[in-house]
Amino acid sequence: MCGITGWIDWERDLTKEGQIVQKMVDTMIDRGPDAGGVWLSPRAALGHRRLSVIDIDGGAQPMKRTIADKNYVLTYSGEIYNFMELRNELMQRGYHFTTRSDTEVLLFSFMEWGKNCVDRLNGIFAFAIWDEEREELFLVRDRLGVKPLYYAVRGSAILFGSEPKALLANPLVQPEVDEKGLAEIFLMTCRTPGQGFYKDVHELRAGHTISFQRMGSKMTQYWKLQSAPHLYDVEETAQHIRELMFDIVGRQLVSDVPICTLLSGGVDSSAVTSIASQILKEKGENVHTYSIDFKDSSDHFEKSEIHTGLDAPFVKTMADYLKSDHHDVVLDTPDLISDFLTPLYARDFPALGDIDTSIFLLFKAIKQKASVALSGESSDELFGGYPWFHSPEPTEFQALPWLYRTDFVGLLSPELHEQIRPKEYIFDHYQKAIAEVPYLPGENDRDRRLRELFYLNLVYFLPVLLDRKDRMSMAVGLEVRVPFCDHRLMEYGWNIPWEMKNTGGMEKGILRKALKGLLPEEVLYRKKSAYPISYNPSYVLEMRTRMESILQDSSSPVLPFIDREKLASMVRGANSDIHLIHGPVRAFEYFIQVNTWLKEYKVRIAV
């Protein structure tokens, strides 16, 4: 994993802009702590920060290769899991490799197959290739959007980067936010794929490429979910899922640096860990596992619809079962407070509160001993693990189902309501998403609605989780791989009928069946519980104090956007018995972040 950035300009000599390009690169030292590089030419400047994972001594970037006097330059972030197969094929076609890196395989793949090379890649990636002869920039993002990529057009200039901060380091891009940006910020659970927060700064959508030449640009969607009848019975389906998972995890365990897994004691992380353990034991190695908990969590835990129980007992069961080298990372309120704003600077926009802070601190602890971790994201989206898949109300309601649980619209000021028109914006967002759904001909109304739910979760909700995982891990130079995001599993799982996904009348029933014998029974049939949060009253009181301070300071930049009276009433009513999911603390966390972001980034509202 790495950080990439670049600047293309058909009217400026970029060989004279090395200092600015270096500043763009330097913003991403955390993403790539091991090395950095800049490549300059009159029309193109590419930059790179490297986290060395495969071929530590080779694979330096930006990487340039020449064929038939034509020059190609690559800057790339990610991992190509089938790079050895591609390397062997390219060698048969006459290519000579000077490194063991997947970087060189990727560049040669483009030189051999052109833009169609993306169809051959299995991995997580964001990359840019400059074709010097054609003076063309080719930007690519992986199928599920695991790795981020932003770009902006400013006159004759094209700027891109793994994170907004790389673009903001160039004077051509200013921290401005228009009405769309305000809507994305304040309707935090209504993220629009492709829509950046800053004015005219775009996020390349997952599964898309975009090419820039002097005369214009062309965007292409090279991958999307496609619906087809599922022709296999329950036993065949479970067996195929199991075989796919072993192949996927095996590929993702390739690393020249220490590797581990995240273990929550839930089905998804336990599945990845168990398979990794088996594969590593065949090599004479033992799996290292990491989990997160909070001090005195058993004293403060509050059971809810999405937090059904504490992770710790199931983590211990799983670690003992596999005899893993296990590491518990236990956090206390002072830990969360000291790094409360760190995720904001990692994201370049407001973060999600203690769930961002705690996972950042988990990754920081992991980084002391490992540089790669495997995680369980996207299983719930693919197999139907969330409560809203099993509750009739969200199934019938024509909206984004997760808005039921985190809706701050009622706390926004009347003026902001008038500007962004929340209900209309959310409904339009929903309608655009539904218009993309690839229905299966002949489906009944119920199955059509469930397909819509799966699409919303995979294409609109999952990117929020993947973005969080990328930013918090790369903020400490840790690469997190997500086996359930393998596109082969996605394509297969997408078309498994609901009755089969729900085998045994339990969420993710088909996955549990596929994992039979790999997990202890109590873990295999554990009811889903969401990522843990802190229930410590001292954390709630700290957030209340900070929110109160913002409300009392007339210069606080967030004030024009919030309903001060409602929030002041919430501050007065907040106490140590507050419920952290539906209570005020979630709002306090977020508006504190927004206030800091507006102030520290010197955000200008361009409406």
pLDDT tens digits, 215-268: 999 999 999 999 999 999 999 999 999 999 999 999 999 988 899 999 999 999
Of the ranges 389-393, 549-553, 580-584, which one carries the lowest mean pLDDT score?
A: 580-584
Distances (CA, A) of 473 to 10, 145, 204, 255, 481: 36, 15, 20, 17, 10
Contacts of residue 247, defined as CB under 8 A and 6 or more positions apart, other chains included, come to none
Query: Whole domain around residue 577: which residue ranges?
Result: 537-605
561-578: average pLDDT:
79
Confidence class for position 13, pLDDT limits 50, 70, 90:
very high
Confidence class for position 391, pLDDT limits 50, 70, 90:
confident
Catalytic residues: 2
Tokens of 113: 């197959």
Contacts of residue 114, defined as CB under 8 A and 6 or more positions apart, other chains included, come to none
Contacts of residue 591, defined as CB under 8 A and 6 or more positions apart, other chains included, come to 411, 547, 550, 558, 562, 567
Alpha helices in 222-266 (DSSP H): 234-252
Q: Which of 55-64, 392-401, 431-440 has the highest mean pLDDT?
A: 431-440
577-605: average pLDDT:
83
The pTM of the full predicted model, rounded to 2 decimals, is: 0.95
CB 196 within 8 A of CB 203: yes
Of the chain, the percentage scoring pLDDT greater than 70 comes to 96
pLDDT of residue 99 exceeding 50, the answer is yes
**Domain end among 221, 246, 281:** 221
pLDDT of residue 579 exceeding 50, the answer is no
pLDDT on residue 77:
96
Number of domains in the chain: 3
Residues 580-602: b if buried by 16+ CB within 10 A, e if exposed: bbebbbbbbbbbbbbbbbbeebe
pLDDT on residue 231:
95
A 10 A CB-CB count for 280 gives 19
Residues 504 and 444 placed together within one structural domain of the fold: yes
Q: Is 309 annotated as a binding residue?
A: no
Q: Residues, the chain, total?
A: 607
What is the arrangement of strands in the sheet containing 479-481, beginning at the earlier edge strand?
A: 325-331, 288-294, 259-262, 372-374, 479-481
**Domain end among 161, 186, 221:** 221
Q: Give domain status of residue 206, yes or no.
A: yes
Residues 252 and 369 placed together within one structural domain of the fold: yes
Q: Give domain status of residue 529, yes or no.
A: no
To which residue do tokens 């980034």 refer? 601
Tens-digit pLDDT profile for residues 445-458:
889 999 999 999 99
pLDDT on residue 407:
61
Residues 147 and 238 placed together within one structural domain of the fold: no
Confidence class for position 557, pLDDT limits 50, 70, 90:
very high
For the chain, the C-alpha Rg in angstroms (whole number) is: 24
A 10 A CB-CB count for 8 gives 26
> What is the distance between the alpha carbons of residues 496 and 427, in angstroms, rounded to a whole number?
28
Q: Is 375 annotated as a binding residue?
A: yes
To which residue do tokens 């600047």 refer? 7
Local structure of 528: helix, strand or coil: coil
Residues 76-111: b if buried by 16+ CB within 10 A, e if exposed: bbbbbbebeebbeebeeeebeeeebbbbbbbbbbbb
pLDDT on residue 546:
96
> What is the distance between the alpha carbons of residues 500 and 234, in angstroms, rounded to a whole number?
7
Alpha helices in 290-396 (DSSP H): 297-300, 312-322, 333-338, 342-347, 354-367, 379-383, 392-396
Q: What angle do CA 224, 230, 231 make, to 5 degrees?
A: 140
pLDDT on residue 582:
46
CB 313 within 8 A of CB 532: no
Q: Give domain status of residue 429, yes or no.
A: yes
pLDDT on residue 580:
39
pLDDT on residue 578:
43
Max distance between CA atoms of the chain, in angstroms, equals: 72
Q: Give domain status of residue 338, yes or no.
A: yes
pLDDT on residue 211:
98
Residues 511-537: b if buried by 16+ CB within 10 A, e if exposed: bbbbbeebbbeebbebebbbebbbbbe
Could you tell me which of 166, 210, 154, 164 has the C-alpha nearest to residue 184? Answer: 164
Q: Any idea what the CATH number is for the domain that residue 352 is in?
A: 3.40.50.620
pLDDT on residue 533:
86
Residues 304 and 407 placed together within one structural domain of the fold: yes
Q: Give domain status of residue 229, yes or no.
A: no
Residues 266 and 385 placed together within one structural domain of the fold: yes
Residues 260 and 120 placed together within one structural domain of the fold: no
> Is the torsion defined by CA of 260, 460, 309, 592 positive or negative?
positive
Residues 259 and 168 placed together within one structural domain of the fold: no
Instruction: Using CA atoms of 228, 234, 239, 245 in order, give the dihedral in degrees to the nearest 10.
Output: 60
Residues 53 and 193 placed together within one structural domain of the fold: yes
Distances (CA, A) of 460 to 323, 341, 415, 463: 37, 25, 28, 6
Q: Higher pLDDT residue, 42 or 58?
A: 42
pLDDT on residue 251:
96
Q: Any idea what the CATH number is for the domain that residue 135 is in?
A: 3.60.20.10
175-196: average pLDDT:
88
Tens-digit pLDDT profile for residues 133-158:
999 999 999 999 999 999 999 999 99
Q: Give domain status of residue 491, yes or no.
A: yes
Residues 505 and 552 placed together within one structural domain of the fold: no
> What is the distance between the alpha carbons of residues 86 and 488, in angstroms, rounded to a whole number?
17
Q: What is the mean pLDDT of the chain?
A: 93
pLDDT on residue 577:
44
Q: Give domain status of residue 530, yes or no.
A: no
CB 6 within 8 A of CB 160: yes
pLDDT on residue 190:
66
Q: Is 262 annotated as a binding residue?
A: yes
Q: Give domain status of residue 531, yes or no.
A: no
**Helix H or strand E encompassing 108:** helix 102-113
Tens-digit pLDDT profile for residues 462-495:
999 999 999 999 999 999 999 999 999 999 999 9
151-180: average pLDDT:
97
Tokens of 471: 């930013």
111-123: average pLDDT:
98
Could you tell me which of 557, 545, 531 has the C-alpha nearest to residue 584? Answer: 545
To which residue do tokens 């996927």 refer? 248
Residues 517 and 549 placed together within one structural domain of the fold: no
Residues 59 and 144 placed together within one structural domain of the fold: yes
38-59: average pLDDT:
88
pLDDT on residue 450:
92
Contacts of residue 26, defined as CB under 8 A and 6 or more positions apart, other chains included, come to 36, 169
Could you tell me which of 252, 278, 230 has the C-alpha nearest to residue 510? Answer: 230
To which residue do tokens 């197959």 refer? 113
Residues 208 and 321 placed together within one structural domain of the fold: no
505-527: average pLDDT:
96
Local structure of 50: helix, strand or coil: strand
> What is the distance between the alpha carbons of residues 189 and 404, in angstroms, rounded to a whole number?
10
CB 568 within 8 A of CB 142: no
Confidence class for position 532, pLDDT limits 50, 70, 90:
confident
| Long-range contact set of residues 498-501: C-beta below 8 Å, sequence gap at least 24 | 498/384, 498/447, 498/450, 500/230, 500/234, 500/237, 501/383, 501/384
**Domain end among 458, 493, 524:** 524
Cα 373 to chain centroid, rounded: 14
Tens-digit pLDDT profile for residues 494-505:
999 999 999 998
